[in-house]
């Protein structure tokens, strides 16, 4: 059973490393990460610590970081500009 430190919402749990390096992720941790059987996780190692991240969430974070500022670079910084682009794309797909 994990321990929740309420001051900064840190959740702590542990698991035993088996002979082949396998570890069962505790159920409460799987629920927090939003992963279940067959899902993938990403290990991020920084300064001697490891973070487990739902791979789908991690991929979205990477994509968002890469796309940061692109709307302004392409003049799509207003709702109106985005709607105009959507209308143009829809018109092209009908032709």
pTM (whole model) above 0.85: no
pLDDT at 48 (0 to 100): 92
Mean pLDDT, 10 residues at a time, over the chain (95 residues)?
A: 61 90 92 91 93 89 82 76 84 73
Number of helices followed by number of strands (H, E) in the chain? 4, 4
- Please check whether residues 61 and 20 belong to one and the same domain: no
Residue 1, pLDDT score: 58
pLDDT, position 36: 92
The residues, ordered by sequence, that sit 6+ positions from 77 with a Cβ below 8 Å of its Cβ are 71
- Could you tell me the residue range of the domain that residue 29 belongs to? 1-33
Residue 15 has phi, psi (to 5 degrees) of -150, 160
Q: What is the pLDDT of residue 38?
A: 93
Sign of CA dihedral 51, 56, 60, 65: positive
> 56 and 89 share a domain?
yes
Residues 5 and 18 in one domain: yes
Are both 67 and 95 inside the same structural domain?
yes
- Strand partners for 11: 4
At 8 the pLDDT is 64
């Amino acid at each position: 059973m994990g321990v929740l430190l309420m001051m900064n919402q840190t959740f702590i749990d542990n698991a035993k490393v088996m002979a082949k390096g396998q570890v069962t992720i505790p159920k409460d941790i799987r629920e927090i990460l939003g992963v279940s059987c067959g899902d993938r996780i990403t290990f991020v190692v920084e300064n001697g610590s490891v973070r487990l991240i739902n791979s789908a969430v991690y991929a979205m974070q990477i994509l968002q970081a890469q796309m940061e500022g692109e709307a302004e670079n392409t003049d799509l910084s207003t709702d109106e500009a985005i709607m105009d682009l959507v209308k143009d794309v829809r018109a092209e797909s009908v032709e």
